[in-house]
Amino acid sequence: MDLSDGLRDSLKAHLSWGKPRLDCFVGMLQALLSARQMNLALLAVHIDSDTDIGSRYRRMQRFFSQVFFNYNDIAHFLMGMFAFSGQQYYLTLDRTNWKWGKSNLNLLTLAVVYQGAAIPVYWMVLNKRGNSNQRERIALLQRFISQFGRNNILGVLADREFIGGQWWKWLSSKEIPYLIRIKGNQLMTDKHKKEAHVRSLFANLKPGKRRVLRHRRDVSGEWVWLSGSKLPSGELLIIASNHYTADPIGTYRLRWEIENLFQCLKGRGFHMEATHFTKPLASKR
């Protein structure tokens, strides 16, 4: 069995496509590994086929205009491929965007932390520029939970964009731990109802040092554990968590894997922007 046969069999177990569409998709995946580009014109050159390049290009165009993706099936395929089922894992949430012409492509992505580069499982095309809102984050994670449950989630890791009382309360209500970076000027209240910026708790840290506070503070209406580290640049890294963690800073650093994912998909990898797609692909739920 060669690579194409094995890949086709794996996909066939999860996708309800006929053989011609499976063959087309497998051909594109193999061409992608060779070309390291998502531009369809370049993929057409690398597809292993006796047909002329123009015919290959038009076949790919028809594929993307006609084929519907069930993203739950794709998610199960990815979780199975990396043997995440039955294992415990951290999820990381982030957003990547780029612009083609006048169109903005803005992807909110939920991924599983895995050996240095996170594996994307669900994503949402935001019909706007800028940050996601709390409702969109909840919807994306709820979709994951509906398919894979929450028992294996060790925690959700996210950067400063992903703050908000409603979002944090929802995670806590589902008993999902989170470690989320917050801004230094975020206000907190202690048990004596004294209000201050969270950076004041870590102002005397020296570069390279870190501190985990023993008592919770009220931030955005949630009682959270705070920890901080002063980076070599002098910038403060402050983490809020709804569960006590022995090494919150070290755990939070796993979030960087989703940045590696985006680099792999974009400029340092498969050049995702080169698809020149400007509209979300239709999907079947």
Angle between helix 3-12 and helix 19-35 axes, rounded to 10 deg: 130
d(CA 124, CA 68): 16
pLDDT tens profile 163-189: 999 999 999 999 999 999 999 999 999
The verdict on pTM exceeding 0.75 is: yes
Res 130: pLDDT: 83
Res 284: pLDDT: 46
Least confident window among 39-48, 155-164, 177-186: 39-48
The 10 Å Cβ neighbour count of residue 25 is: 18
What percent of the chain is predicted at pLDDT more than 90? Answer: 63
- Is the model's pLDDT at 251 over the cut of 50? yes
Structural domains for the chain: 3-67 (no CATH), 78-262 (3.90.350.10)
Task: Name residue, tokens 């990898």.
Answer: 269
Buried b (16+ CB within 10 A) or exposed e, 188-213: beeeeeeeeebbebbeebeeeebbbe
- Is the model's pLDDT at 94 over the cut of 90? yes
CA atoms within 13 A on the CB side of 159: 14
- Is the model's pLDDT at 282 over the cut of 50? no
The 10 Å Cβ neighbour count of residue 154 is: 18
Res 235: pLDDT: 93
The CA–CA distances, whole Å, from 195 to 184, 190, 199, 236, 241 equal 13, 7, 12, 19, 19
